[in-house]
Chains A and B, each alone.
Chain A
Amino acid sequence: MKPTGILFFPAFDWAISPTHPEREERLLYTRDQLFEEGIMDLPGIKEYQSRMATEKDISRTHFCVPDVESRITKAHLVSAGSALVLADAFMRKEVKNAFAIIRPPGHHAMTVSHGNRGFCDINNEAIMVEYLRQHYGLKKIAIVDTDVHHGDGTQEIFYHDPDILFISFHQDGRTLYPGSGFMEELGGPLAYGTTINIPLDPGTGDYGIHYILDNLVLPVLEEFKPELVINSAGQDNHFSDPLANMNFTAQGYAILNQKLAPDIAVLEGGYSVETALPYVNMGIIMAMAGIDFSNLQEPGYKKENQSVAARETGSLDRIVKTQLRNFRSREEKVADNRKTGQTFFSYNRNIFYDTDYIHEEQKLNLRLCQNCGGYRSLSSAARQSDGAYYKIYAVNIPIYACEKCQAEGMELYRQMAESGKYDYIYLQDHPRDKFHAFNVKLLQEKVY
Chain B
Amino acid sequence: MLLGIDVGGTFTDGVIFAQGEVIARVKQPTDERNIKQSLWSALDELLLKVDKDDIERVVLSTTLITNLLATGQGEPTALIMIPGYGMPYGEYNICEDTFFVRGFMDFRGREIENIDQDEVRDVLREITKRQIHRAAVVGKFSNRNHIQETMIKNIAKSDFPELDIYISSEVACRLNFPRRAVTTFYTAMILKEWNRFADEIETVFKQRHWNGRVEILKADGGTMTLDASRLQPCETAFSGPAAGNMGALALAGEAVNSVVLDIGGTTADISLLIEGKPLYASKGAKIDGRFTHINSLAVKSVPLGGDSVLSPDGDPLIRAYRLGPAACFGGDRPTVIDAFNVAFDLGIGNAAASYEKISRLGEQSGKPVQEVSRNVTDQVVLKLRAEITAMFREWEQEPAYKVWEVVNRKKFTLQRIIGIGAAAEAIIPLLAKDMGIDYLYHKYSPVANGLGAALVRPTIAVEVHIDTQSQKYSVNPQGHFGVIEKNSRFGLEKAKALALECLKNAAADRGLAHMTPQAQYYMEEQFNIVRGWDTAGKIFDIGIVIAPGFVEQFQGVIK
A-B interaction: yes
Contacts of B535 in A (CB 8 A): 18-19
Q: Establish whether residues B406 and A52, one from each chain, have CB atoms under 8 Å apart when the complex forms.
A: yes
Q: Is A260's beta carbon under 8 Å from chain B?
A: no
Q: Establish whether residues A8 and B401, one from each chain, have CB atoms under 8 Å apart when the complex forms.
A: yes
Which of A46-80 touch B at CB < 8 Å?
47-52, 74-75, 78
| From A32, A37, A42, A50, contact of B406 by CB (8 A) | A50
Contacts of A296 in B (CB 8 A): 85-86
Stretch of B170-178, B349-357, B358-366 at the chain-chain interface: B170-178
| From B87, B176, B399, B534, contact of A48 by CB (8 A) | B399
Q: Is B19's beta carbon under 8 Å from chain A?
A: no
Residues A291 and B406 in contact in the complex (CB < 8 Å), given A37-B177, A41-B179, A274-B108: no
Stretch of A22-30, A175-183, A229-237 at the chain-chain interface: A22-30
Q: Is A299's beta carbon under 8 Å from chain B?
A: yes
Q: Is B490's beta carbon under 8 Å from chain A?
A: no
Q: Is A307's beta carbon under 8 Å from chain B?
A: no
Chain B: minimal CB distance from A175 (Å): 21
Q: Establish whether residues B108 and A74, one from each chain, have CB atoms under 8 Å apart when the complex forms.
A: no
Contacts of A7 in B (CB 8 A): 399
Mask of B47-87 contacts with A, CB within 8 angstroms, 1/0:
00000000000000000000000000000000000010111
Q: Is B558's beta carbon under 8 Å from chain A?
A: no
Which of A1-45 touch B at CB < 8 Å?
7-14, 18-19, 23-25, 28-29, 31-33, 35-38, 40-42
Q: Is B407's beta carbon under 8 Å from chain A?
A: yes
Report the separation of the CA atoms of residues A81 and B400 in the bound assembly, to the nearest whole angstrom.
Answer: 13
Q: Is A278's beta carbon under 8 Å from chain B?
A: yes
Q: What residue of chain B has the Cβ atom nearest to residue A42's Cβ?
A: B91
Q: Is B342's beta carbon under 8 Å from chain A?
A: no
The interface size of chain B toward A, counting residues with CB under 8 Å, comes to 41
Report the separation of the CA atoms of residues A278 and B106 in the bound assembly, to the nearest whole angstrom.
Answer: 10
Q: Is A326's beta carbon under 8 Å from chain B?
A: no
Q: Is B315's beta carbon under 8 Å from chain A?
A: no
Contacts of A37 in B (CB 8 A): 86-87, 140, 177-178
Mask of B232-262 contacts with A, CB within 8 angstroms, 1/0:
0000000000000000000000000000000
Interface size class of A (residues with CB under 8 A): 35 or more
Contacts of B398 in A (CB 8 A): 49
Contacts of A24 in B (CB 8 A): 527-528
Q: Establish whether residues B402 and A295, one from each chain, have CB atoms under 8 Å apart when the complex forms.
A: no
Mask of B517-531 contacts with A, CB within 8 angstroms, 1/0:
000000001011110
Q: What residue of chain B has the Cβ atom nearest to residue A29's Cβ?
A: B107
Residues A28 and B527 in contact in the complex (CB < 8 Å), given A14-B403, A38-B179, A74-B407: yes
Which of B498-531 touch A at CB < 8 Å?
525, 527-530
Q: What residue of chain B has the Cβ atom nearest to residue A298's Cβ?
A: B85
Q: Establish whether residues B175 and A32, one from each chain, have CB atoms under 8 Å apart when the complex forms.
A: yes
Q: What residue of chain A has the Cβ atom nearest to residue B89's Cβ?
A: A295
Chain A: minimal CB distance from B260 (Å): 25
Report the separation of the CA atoms of residues A254 and B520 in the bound assembly, to the nearest whole angstrom.
Answer: 43
| From B177, B397, B534, contact of A19 by CB (8 A) | B534
Q: Is B550's beta carbon under 8 Å from chain A?
A: no
Chain A: minimal CB distance from B508 (Å): 30
Chain A: minimal CB distance from B478 (Å): 19
Q: Establish whether residues A49 and B397, one from each chain, have CB atoms under 8 Å apart when the complex forms.
A: yes
Q: Is B539's beta carbon under 8 Å from chain A?
A: yes
Residues A41 and B108 in contact in the complex (CB < 8 Å), given A36-B175, A49-B397: no
Q: What residue of chain B has the Cβ atom nearest to residue A51's Cβ?
A: B406
Which of A267-303 touch B at CB < 8 Å?
274, 278-279, 282, 286, 291-299
Q: Establish whether residues A295 and B399, one from each chain, have CB atoms under 8 Å apart when the complex forms.
A: no
Contacts of B91 in A (CB 8 A): 42, 291
Q: Is B441's beta carbon under 8 Å from chain A?
A: no
Contacts of B400 in A (CB 8 A): 9, 49-50
Q: Is B291's beta carbon under 8 Å from chain A?
A: yes
Q: Is B141's beta carbon under 8 Å from chain A?
A: yes
Contacts of A33 in B (CB 8 A): 86, 107
Contacts of B125 in A (CB 8 A): none
| From B88, B402, B528, contact of A292 by CB (8 A) | B88
Mask of B159-177 contacts with A, CB within 8 angstroms, 1/0:
0000000000000000111
Report the separation of the CA atoms of residues A52 and B403 in the bound assembly, to the nearest whole angstrom.
Answer: 9
Contacts of B530 in A (CB 8 A): 18-19, 23, 25
Contacts of B88 in A (CB 8 A): 291-295
Chain B: minimal CB distance from A189 (Å): 41
Contacts of B104 in A (CB 8 A): 299
Which of B174-225 touch A at CB < 8 Å?
175-179
Contacts of B83 in A (CB 8 A): 295
Q: Is B486's beta carbon under 8 Å from chain A?
A: no
Report the separation of the CA atoms of residues A75 and B107 in the bound assembly, to the nearest whole angstrom.
Answer: 26
Report the separation of the CA atoms of residues A12 and B527 in the bound assembly, to the nearest whole angstrom.
Answer: 8
Report the separation of the CA atoms of residues A50 and B533 in the bound assembly, to the nearest whole angstrom.
Answer: 30
Q: Is B90's beta carbon under 8 Å from chain A?
A: yes
Contacts of B399 in A (CB 8 A): 7-9, 47-50
Q: Establish whether residues A36 and B402, one from each chain, have CB atoms under 8 Å apart when the complex forms.
A: no
Q: Establish whether residues A299 and B527, one from each chain, have CB atoms under 8 Å apart when the complex forms.
A: no
| From B87, B106, B527, contact of A25 by CB (8 A) | B527
Chain A: minimal CB distance from B466 (Å): 13
| From A19, A41, A274, A291, contact of B178 by CB (8 A) | A41
Q: Is B386's beta carbon under 8 Å from chain A?
A: no
Q: What residue of chain B has the Cβ atom nearest to residue A10's Cβ?
A: B401
Q: Establish whether residues B175 and A78, one from each chain, have CB atoms under 8 Å apart when the complex forms.
A: no
Contacts of A18 in B (CB 8 A): 528, 530, 535
Contacts of A297 in B (CB 8 A): 85
Q: Establish whether residues B175 and A19, one from each chain, have CB atoms under 8 Å apart when the complex forms.
A: no
Contacts of B401 in A (CB 8 A): 8-12, 31
Contacts of B525 in A (CB 8 A): 12
Chain B: minimal CB distance from A303 (Å): 14
Report the separation of the CA atoms of residues A31 and B177 in the bound assembly, to the nearest whole angstrom.
Answer: 13
Q: What residue of chain B has the Cβ atom nearest to residue A47's Cβ?
A: B399
Report the separation of the CA atoms of residues A8 and B398 in the bound assembly, to the nearest whole angstrom.
Answer: 12
Q: Is B383's beta carbon under 8 Å from chain A?
A: no
Contacts of B108 in A (CB 8 A): 29, 274
Q: Establish whether residues B528 and A74, one from each chain, have CB atoms under 8 Å apart when the complex forms.
A: no
Contacts of B406 in A (CB 8 A): 9, 50-52, 74, 78, 81
Report the separation of the CA atoms of residues A51 and B408 in the bound assembly, to the nearest whole angstrom.
Answer: 11
Contacts of B85 in A (CB 8 A): 279, 295-298
Contacts of B89 in A (CB 8 A): 295
Chain A: minimal CB distance from B528 (Å): 6
Contacts of B539 in A (CB 8 A): 25, 28
Contacts of B178 in A (CB 8 A): 37-38, 41
Report the separation of the CA atoms of residues A208 and B533 in the bound assembly, to the nearest whole angstrom.
Answer: 31
| From B106, B175, B176, B528, contact of A299 by CB (8 A) | B106
Please provide the 7 A-B residue pairs with the shortest distance between their CB atoms, ordered closest to farther.
A32-B107, A38-B178, A35-B175, A292-B88, A297-B85, A13-B402, A25-B527
* New A-B pairs, 18, CB < 8 Å, besides A32-B141, A38-B291, A49-B398: A9-B399, A9-B401, A11-B401, A14-B403, A18-B530, A19-B534, A23-B528, A25-B528, A35-B176, A38-B176, A40-B283, A41-B291, A52-B407, A74-B406, A81-B406, A274-B108, A293-B88, A295-B85
**14 pairs across A/B with beta carbons < 8 Å?**
A11-B402, A12-B401, A12-B525, A23-B530, A25-B527, A37-B87, A38-B179, A41-B176, A41-B283, A49-B398, A50-B399, A51-B406, A78-B403, A297-B85
**Which residues of A does B touch, CB under 8 Å?**
7-14, 18-19, 23-25, 28-29, 31-33, 35-38, 40-42, 47-52, 74-75, 78, 81, 274, 278-279, 282, 286, 291-299
